[in-house]
């Protein structure tokens, strides 16, 4: 296991927010990692592979929420470096990307990271977050008229709602919009994304960068 991730997981397992946050921001500050690598190789695997010990069975959800809150703080504190990396890439474009979760989806940390990825790629990024009532979201779409709508789904049971969401966007929006989906609910199966009517399924920053480049050139 990578030494950076190992040390981060030690802090996370101890639920030591101060050390976990300070360590990750110091990595960015000293350019020992970048935002994409921090999110993809340290934070995400560190959080996803947490195991609840036998002694903690009765408070597993509690511990999961505490650790998620720690990672969320790290992501929020990373935003100045997100802007710095966008500037370094000179990646400013006219693409507006809206990142949202379906109604009843309460896990939006992955979506929050994805929003930063779109920002690094130069997009005007609007992060809506979890459990957004679809009617409100749809009304906002009419005003914003984004080129990209990215939907993050963590809970498998929200795939039906996601399909309805995509169908509504397709049937009513009076312009072409690229719909991107991702999240643990898809179990890394692109066919599930296709069956919902999405244009793309994303698993990484590289996927998002490729999508944005394609949108810019079209």
Segment 54-70 shows an average pLDDT of 78
CATH topology of domain 91-217: Rossmann fold (3.40.50)
* Residues in the chain, overall count: 218
Tens of pLDDT along 186-215?
A: 988 888 888 999 999 999 999 999 999 999
pLDDT tier at 16, thresholds 50, 70, 90: very high
Sign of CA pseudo-dihedral 129, 17, 37, 29: positive
Sheet (strand 200-201) strand order = 124-129, 96-100, 148-152, 178-182, 200-201
Lowest mean pLDDT among 19-28, 51-60, 105-114: 51-60
Segment 65-72 shows an average pLDDT of 94
Tens of pLDDT along 156-165?
A: 899 999 999 9
Domain ranges of the chain: 3-84, 91-217
- pTM (global) more than 0.75: yes
Number of helices and strands (H, E) in the chain?
11, 5
Angle (deg, nearest 10), helices 109-120 and 79-89: 30
């Amino acid at each position: 296991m990578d030494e950076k991730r190992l040390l981060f997981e030690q802090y996370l397992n101890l639920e030591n927010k101060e050390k976990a946050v300070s360590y990750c921001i110091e990595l960015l500050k000293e350019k020992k990692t970048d935002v994409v690598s921090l999110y993809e190789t340290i934070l995400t695997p560190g959080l996803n592979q947490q195991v609840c010990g036998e002694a903690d069975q009765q408070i597993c959800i509690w511990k999961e929420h505490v650790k998620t809150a720690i990672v969320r703080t790290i992501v929020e504190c990373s935003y100045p470096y997100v802007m710095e990396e966008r500037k370094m890439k000179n990646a400013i474009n006219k693409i507006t990307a809206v990142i949202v979760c379906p109604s009843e989806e309460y896990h939006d940390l992955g979506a929050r990271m994805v929003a930063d990825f779109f920002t690094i790629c130069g997009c005007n990024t609007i992060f809506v977050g979890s459990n957004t009532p679809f009617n409100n979201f749809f009304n906002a779409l009419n005003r914003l008229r984004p080129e990209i709508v990215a939907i993050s789904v963590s809970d498998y049971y929200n795939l039906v709602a996601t399909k309805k969401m995509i169908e509504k966007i397709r049937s009513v929006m009076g312009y072409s919009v690229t719909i991107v989906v991702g999240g643990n609910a898809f179990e890394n199966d692109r066919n599930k994304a296709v069956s919902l009517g999405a244009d793309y399924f994303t698993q990484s920053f590289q996927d998002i960068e490729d999508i944005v480049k394609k949108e810019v050139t079209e």
